[in-house]
A and B are shown apart, each in its own frame.
Chain A
Amino acid sequence: MIMLRLFVFIILCWTTNSLKAHPLKLSLCEIEYSSKKQKLTINLKLFLTDVNEAIVFDPNSNELAFCQPNESAKANQLLLNYLNRFFYVKVNNTLVELKIKNKNLKGEGDNTALWVYFEYNQSTPLKSLEVKNAVFTDLFFDQNNIVYVHVDEKSKSLMLDKKKSVHELKF
């Protein structure tokens, strides 16, 4: 009986800890390549609360004020510092340097998303695309990062997480 109670207690502690944060941990990344336009674009959709938690340890912080008139001068750099640790795209085995072209906020409240947009000229044909997406896996053990890859007319979806954060596609 004591062992059973101990077991129940351990399970209770574990499940309680497991449920400490938001119900669904998700981010979305869309990578698009058009051979006609010779352009590669990357669009990251991140929950703003997760971005703030990751960067300033406070999900509801307005210290960096992303996409607002009073946006902090260091907001982009801090965001890039974080992304460079947990996210990359390699095209034909060459690392794409992350430079933010544009970003905006969509939604409201806890569902507010920060969209971060990157755009590159890509004149050589796409032979391989390697993606690492481990964003927020440092915060949440159950973070899921969906990656949609659109190459001309073809689309492919991936889900990356803490255990499997890198995947390479060949074309």
Chain B
Amino acid sequence: MCKLNSNYLVILVITFLLVSCKKSSETTNANADKDKELIQKALEIHSRVLTLDTHADTPLRMIQPGFDLSEKHDPKETGSKVDYPRMKEGGLDGIFFATFVAQDIRDDDGHGRAKNLCLQMIDSIITSTKRNADEVGLALNPDDAYSLEKQGKRAIYIGIENGYPVGNDISNVGLYFEKGVRYITLVHSANNDLADSATDPNGPEHDGLSDFGSEVVKEMNRLGIMVDVSHGSDSLFYDAISVSKAPIIASHSNARVVTKHDRNMSDEMLKLMAENGGVVQLTMLADYLRQAPPNKERDSAVAALRANMKPFGQMTLEEQTAARKAFEELNTKYPAPPATLKHVGDHIDHIVKVAGIDHVGIGCDFDGGGGIEGVFDASEVMNITIELVRRGYTEEEIEKIWGGNLIRVFKEVQEVAKKIQAEETT
């Protein structure tokens, strides 16, 4: 009897498990189908809206001997994040290639060299668009992005990251505009003659914009170049918004309340950006997206390895190589928790909450440190759209985030330029 009962019990448990598994499997399948539908919907939206990334340091790659943007590159090999095939693969319709010249001595020699190097990079971009005219086109005006998209081509805009190549010669602004530059990031990681950086170790020098920087902003307004405040100090932001007659942009910046970093923007700045009619373009740089959580397991393992190591100076080359390998194995075993699409969504949600849907966009900073889990390179940018759809954003809202807002600002900047130029002639 007892045995019979126990047999019944076993059968009962097995039946229960089977039914539970079936139900669980049905739920899983239903969820998977729902998710598949959501992804399909997101991909359709992604293909319909204009997708424009306002910041890539890809011109740095273009000065690499033999590097060809028309070829697909393996991001795992050298870290390259953008080329034309991967833009197509990711459904990225347009991009601003930012020319970047590392800052050196702020004298005539330094400025002259920076100008030469900047012009060389701009020429490289123009040459590349001409060589690949079937795939891409050089874009100069807001509507060019749409017309090139209709032709099935990627729009390549040009920006300058850091006003250092402007030097202290205002006529350089006009020269860069003629070459096709449509935004200038006033400053980079150190103060220059135009403005203060958010990250200069020596602190502020001009308390925001210098007098010359103000003249540069006015000249950018006159010509129709967007004023970019990313990398700038808070004071620079307030000065730029006050001096500029046109809305301004932050080509690659995030929200400081979500991730505390001097490069990110406070809520007060986000609100002011909304009042100004400008736009904050969210960047995919891990340190600006989340505070890196501690990696205690790795730290302990590294400390243990180090404690048992010979002093470096006493190691042979073979021993050094073996030690390097051991450290690499620990990095692989205990990787740093990555920034993810969740962090991207959290920043977008916050900016939308504080500044509104009309004041947020995307500036990935590929080839300049940008690239996170799920958006590692240009071929994966559709995952941003999937995340937005998951969070309930409508197609109209996604269109604004992915390019509509930036294009609106760009148009206003050009309108302001027309007015200023008209006033000059009357």
Known contacts: A161-B78, A164-B65, A167-B65. The answer to whether A19 contacts B331 by CB under 8 A is: no
What is the number of residues of chain A that contact chain B, defined by CB distance less than 8 Å? 48
Known contacts: A23-B369, A111-B189, A150-B113. The answer to whether A158 contacts B332 by CB under 8 A is: no
Cβ < 8 Å to A, chain B residues 305-342: 306, 309, 312-313, 323-324, 327, 331-332, 335-336, 338-339
Give the contact stretch, choosing among B115-123, B221-229, B267-275, B394-402. Answer: B115-123
Q: Which residues of B sit under 8 angstroms from A109, Cβ to Cβ?
A: 201
Question: Do B79 and A138 touch across chains, with their CB atoms under 8 A apart?
Answer: no
Q: Which applies to chain A's interface (DSSP): helix, strand, loop or mixed?
A: mixed
Question: Do B286 and A19 touch across chains, with their CB atoms under 8 A apart?
Answer: yes
Q: Which one, B60, B66, B324, B332, contacts A17 given CB within 8 A?
A: B332
B71, CB-defined interface residue at 8 Å: no
* Binary per-residue interface labels of chain A (49-88) against chain B in the complex, 1 for a CB within 8 Å, 0 otherwise: 0000001111000000000000000100010000000000
A146, CB-defined interface residue at 8 Å: yes
Q: How far is the CA of A17 from the CA of B79 in the complex (A)?
A: 12
Q: Which one, A14, A17, A23, A164, contacts B331 given CB within 8 A?
A: A17
Question: Do A24 and B369 touch across chains, with their CB atoms under 8 A apart?
Answer: yes
Cβ < 8 Å to B, chain A residues 148-166: 148, 150, 154-164
Question: Do B335 and A17 touch across chains, with their CB atoms under 8 A apart?
Answer: yes
Question: Do A25 and B76 touch across chains, with their CB atoms under 8 A apart?
Answer: no
Q: How far is the CA of A20 from the CA of B79 in the complex (A)?
A: 13
Question: Do B63 and A142 touch across chains, with their CB atoms under 8 A apart?
Answer: no
Question: Do B117 and A157 touch across chains, with their CB atoms under 8 A apart?
Answer: yes
B376, CB-defined interface residue at 8 Å: yes
Question: Do A158 and B313 touch across chains, with their CB atoms under 8 A apart?
Answer: no
Q: Which one, B79, B117, B189, contacts A155 given CB within 8 A?
A: B117
Minimum Cβ distance to chain B for residue A28 (Å): 5
A16, CB-defined interface residue at 8 Å: yes
A18, CB-defined interface residue at 8 Å: yes
Q: Which one, A23, A55, A143, A158, contacts B312 given CB within 8 A?
A: A55
Question: Do A57 and B323 touch across chains, with their CB atoms under 8 A apart?
Answer: yes
Q: How far is the CA of A162 from the CA of B67 in the complex (A)?
A: 13
Question: Do A159 and B201 touch across chains, with their CB atoms under 8 A apart?
Answer: no
Q: Which one, A107, A141, A146, A157, contacts B79 given CB within 8 A?
A: A141
Question: Do B312 and A56 touch across chains, with their CB atoms under 8 A apart?
Answer: yes
Q: Which residues of A sit under 8 angstroms from B113, Cβ to Cβ?
A: 148, 150, 155
A sample of 12 more A-B contacts (CB under 8 A), given A57-B324, A144-B79, is A15-B374, A18-B76, A18-B376, A45-B102, A57-B323, A109-B201, A111-B201, A138-B324, A142-B79, A155-B117, A159-B67, A161-B79
| 10 cross-chain pairs, A with B, having the tightest CB-CB distances, nearest first | A142-B79, A24-B369, A23-B369, A159-B64, A108-B201, A16-B335, A155-B116, A19-B338, A15-B373, A157-B63
25 contacts between A and B (CB under 8 A): A15-B338, A16-B338, A16-B373, A17-B331, A17-B332, A19-B335, A19-B338, A19-B372, A20-B332, A21-B331, A23-B287, A30-B104, A56-B312, A57-B323, A78-B312, A78-B313, A143-B79, A150-B113, A154-B116, A155-B120, A160-B64, A161-B64, A161-B79, A162-B78, A164-B66
